[in-house]
Structure 1
Amino acid sequence: MHQFIIRHCQCAEGEEYAMPHRSMKMDDTLDDFAPRDISLNDVTKRVYVAGHGPAVIVMTEMPGISPHVARFARWVRDAGFTVYMPSLFGRDGAVPTAEEGVAVFQHACMSAEFRAFQANESSPVTRWLRALARHAHQECGGPGVGAIGMCFTGNFALTMMLEPSMLAPVLSQPSLPLRDPAGLEIAPDELHAVKERLDRDDLTVLAYRFKGDQICRAERFAAYAEALGDRFVARELPDDAVNTDVSPFFARHVPYPHSVVTQHLIDAAGEPTMAARDEILAFFTKRLAAAG
Structure 2
Amino acid sequence: MTRDDPLADFAHRTVEVGGVAKTVHVTGSGPAVVVMPEMPGISPDVARLARWVRDAGFTVYVPSLFGVDGAYPTAEEGEKIVRRACVSAEFRAFAGGGTSPVSSWLRGLARIALAESGGPGVGAIGLCFTGNFALTMALEPAVIAPVVNHPSLPLDAPGELELSAADAEAIADRFRREDLQVLGYRFEGDRWCTGQRFAAYERLLGDAFIGRVLPAAAANPKPPPFFRDIVGCAHSVVTAHLVNESGHPTTQARDEILTFLAARLQVD
TM-score higher than 0.5: yes
Give the aligned CA root-mean-square deviation in angstroms. Answer: 1.0
**Structure 1 residues 147-191: Cα deviation after superposition (integer angstroms, max 9, x where no partner):** 010000000011111100100000000000000010110111111
The separation in 1 between residues aligned to 2:261 and 2:63, in whole angstroms, is 18
1:68 aligns with 2:45: yes
1:147 aligns with 2:147: no
CA contact (8 A) 1:160 1:166 kept: yes
- Which residue of 154, 158, 180 corresponds with 1:177? 154
- TM-score between the two structures when normalised by the length of structure 2: 0.98
1:112 is matched with which residue? 89
The separation in 1 between residues aligned to 2:105 and 2:53, in whole angstroms, is 22
1:282 aligns with 2:262: no
CA contact (8 A) 1:209 1:258 kept: yes
- Which residue of 107, 111, 114 corresponds with 1:130? 107
1:21 is matched with which residue? none
The separation in 2 between residues aligned to 1:119 and 1:133, in whole angstroms, is 26
1:6 is matched with which residue? none
The separation in 2 between residues aligned to 1:162 and 1:110, in whole angstroms, is 25
Gaps of 5+ in 2: none
* 1:42-81 alignment, distance < 5 Å: 42-81=19-58
1:248 shift after superposition: 1.3
1:202 shift after superposition: 0.8
* Structure 1 pair 62–245 and aligned structure 2 pair: CA distance change class (3 A): same
1:207 is matched with which residue? 184
The separation in 1 between residues aligned to 2:151 and 2:231, in whole angstroms, is 14
1:103 aligns with 2:80: yes
Gaps of 5+ in 1: 1-23
1:120 shift after superposition: 6.2
- TM-score between the two structures when normalised by the length of structure 1: 0.90
SS in 1 for 2:212: strand
The separation in 2 between residues aligned to 1:228 and 1:259, in whole angstroms, is 23
1:218 is matched with which residue? 195
1:119 shift after superposition: 3.9
1:251 aligns with 2:228: yes
The separation in 2 between residues aligned to 1:286 and 1:119, in whole angstroms, is 36
Greater C-alpha Rg: 1
* Residue identity (%): 59
2:71 is matched with which residue? 94
The separation in 2 between residues aligned to 1:217 and 1:47, in whole angstroms, is 30
**After TM superposition, which residue ranges in structure 1, 4 or more long, deviate above 2 angstroms?**
none
